[in-house]
């Protein structure tokens, strides 16, 4: 047999073998990729379930925190009332004529009052300890929630790289970012006009203006105002358009009056802790500031409210931080912006109501007032 005639056949066999091997390798790679993708999807679903469980646990702890706080406050008030009652009785005995019965009753009153004082002190210490434990648990849950969210984002990125497509939206934590609808009115931030001479001391002092009365609870009012100035109507319409999605989710409220337009945002969306501005709210505050800055004549009032007592200093810091962030992000003239911390003086919802327990009295109110 001629060797030259066999060479082409051998080459064909070699090509055929290589083709079969490439098909087998591709099948192995595809099978492995499908298994990894299936595992990543399963892990992502488990993480999503875990986030939901942590969110429910966080809400439950928050409700337990407010309930325990209310119970302890009522208990402390009852003990204080009892001490006052005993004090009045003691003063009455001292004013009465001295006698055997009075001499015997006075030491007994003193003993009872000392016991009540000890109970009051013990109840206060127990209340502070339980509140501290609940706060630690809340912080631990928030940290766990953030860690799970970061892990989910990494899993989604890996899934996208395996499928060759864009990464799907990452699982959102319990406090979602506020999406905004872009309009032509926003554009680039406008350069601020030359500021008018500021009064002595710069920015008006915190608390210089009286807090506005608390509006009645209910859904946001977005009806046209017959007596509102054209600029206020225009600003209100733009705010309603840009904040359409947060308004529909009840994350933001928009209220209109003939002399002002007010945006209300719950504090747990604005701040991560204390008076620290949350990254998720920065775009929203910047957009609100840009729209309010279109009315150069109106004054801007930033109020911070709290639902718990002893929060005056905290609300002052929160109002100042929100105002300064809007000034930097939207180019607002600081002489037009006034920051006021109202503490718990103007609750939006009745104390111990479901809304109050859910933290709805903790809020930031940003108002544009007509001149």
| Each residue's pLDDT tens digit, 180-212 | 544 333 333 343 344 444 444 444 444 444 444
Please give the pLDDT value at position 195. Answer: 41
Please give the pLDDT value at position 193. Answer: 41
Cβ atoms of residues 369 and 301 within 8 Å: yes
Give the angle 255-189-221 at the CA atoms, nearest 5°. Answer: 10
Please give the pLDDT value at position 217. Answer: 43
Please give the pLDDT value at position 315. Answer: 94
* Helix H or strand E encompassing 256: strand 252-257
Q: Phi and psi dihedrals of 225, rounded to 5?
A: -105, 125
Q: What is the DSSP letter of 99?
A: -
Centroid of chain to Cα 45? 26
Compute the 3-state secondary structure of the chain and give helix, strand, coil in percent, each to the nearest 5: 60, 10, 30
pLDDT tens sequence for the chain (371 residues) = 444 555 677 778 888 888 888 888 888 888 888 888 888 888 888 888 888 888 888 888 877 877 787 777 787 777 777 777 777 776 766 666 555 544 555 677 778 778 888 888 888 788 777 777 777 777 777 777 677 777 766 776 766 666 554 444 443 334 444 555 443 333 333 433 444 444 444 444 444 444 444 444 444 444 443 445 667 888 888 998 888 888 888 888 999 998 899 999 998 888 988 888 998 888 889 999 999 988 888 899 999 999 888 889 999 999 999 999 999 988 999 999 999 999 999 999 988 888 888 888 999 999 998 86
Please give the pLDDT value at position 164. Answer: 55
User: Which residues are bridge partners to 252 per DSSP?
Assistant: 265
**Given its phi and psi angles, is residue 207 left (phi above 0), alpha (psi -120 to 50 degrees) or beta?**
left
Q: For the whole model, what pTM was predicted?
A: 0.42
* Among candidate residues 263, 241, 248, the one with its CA nearest the CA of residue 183: 241
User: Which residues are bridge partners to 253 per DSSP?
Assistant: 264
Q: Which two tokens stand for residue 318?
A: 């929160």
Please give the pLDDT value at position 364. Answer: 93
d(CA 300, CA 322): 12
Cβ atoms of residues 242 and 180 within 8 Å: yes
Residue the block writes with tokens 């046209």? 224
d(CA 136, CA 130): 10
Residue 355: count other Cβ atoms within 10 Å of its Cβ.
14
Please give the pLDDT value at position 168. Answer: 42
């Amino acid at each position: 047999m001629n060797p030259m005639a066999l060479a082409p056949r051998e080459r064909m066999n070699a090509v055929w073998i290589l083709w079969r091997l490439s098909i087998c390798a591709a099948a192995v790679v595809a099978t492995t990729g499908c298994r990894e993708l299936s595992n990543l999807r399963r892990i992502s679903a488990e993480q999503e379930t875990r986030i939901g469980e942590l969110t429910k646990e966080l809400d439950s702890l928050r409700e337990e925190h407010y309930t325990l706080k209310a119970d302890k406050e009522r208990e402390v008030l009852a003990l204080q009332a009892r001490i006052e009652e005993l004090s009045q009785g003691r003063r009455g005995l001292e004013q009465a004529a001295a006698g055997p019965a009075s001499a015997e009753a006075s030491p007994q009153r003193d003993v009872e009052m000392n016991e009540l004082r000890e109970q009051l002190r013990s109840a206060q210490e127990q209340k502070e300890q339980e509140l501290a434990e609940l706060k630690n648990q809340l912080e631990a849950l928030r940290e766990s929630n953030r860690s799970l969210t970061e892990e989910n984002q990494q899993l989604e990125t890996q899934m996208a790289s395996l499928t060759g497509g864009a990464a799907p939206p990452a699982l959102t934590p319990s406090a979602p970012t506020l999406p905004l609808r872009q309009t032509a009115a926003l554009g680039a931030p406008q350069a601020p006009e030359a500021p008018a001479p500021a009064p002595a001391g710069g920015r008006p002092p915190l608390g210089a203006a009286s807090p506005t009365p608390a509006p009645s609870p209910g859904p946001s009012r977005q009806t046209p105002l017959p007596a509102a100035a054209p600029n206020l109507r225009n600003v209100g319409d733009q705010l309603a358009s840009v904040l359409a999605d947060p308004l529909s989710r009840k994350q933001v409220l928009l209220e209109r009056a003939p002399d002002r337009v007010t945006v209300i945002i719950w504090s747990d969306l604005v701040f991560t802790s204390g008076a620290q501005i949350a990254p998720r709210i920065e775009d929203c505050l910047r957009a609100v500031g840009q729209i309010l800055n279109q009315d150069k004549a109106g004054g801007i009032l930033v109020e911070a409210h709290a639902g718990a007592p002893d929060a005056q200093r905290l609300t002052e810091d929160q109002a100042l931080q929100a105002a300064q962030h809007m000034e930097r992000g939207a180019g607002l003239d600081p002489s037009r912006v006034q920051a006021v911390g109202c503490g718990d003086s103007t609750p939006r919802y009745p104390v111990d109501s479901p809304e109050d327990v859910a933290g709805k009295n903790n809020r930031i109110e940003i108002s544009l007032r007509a001149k």
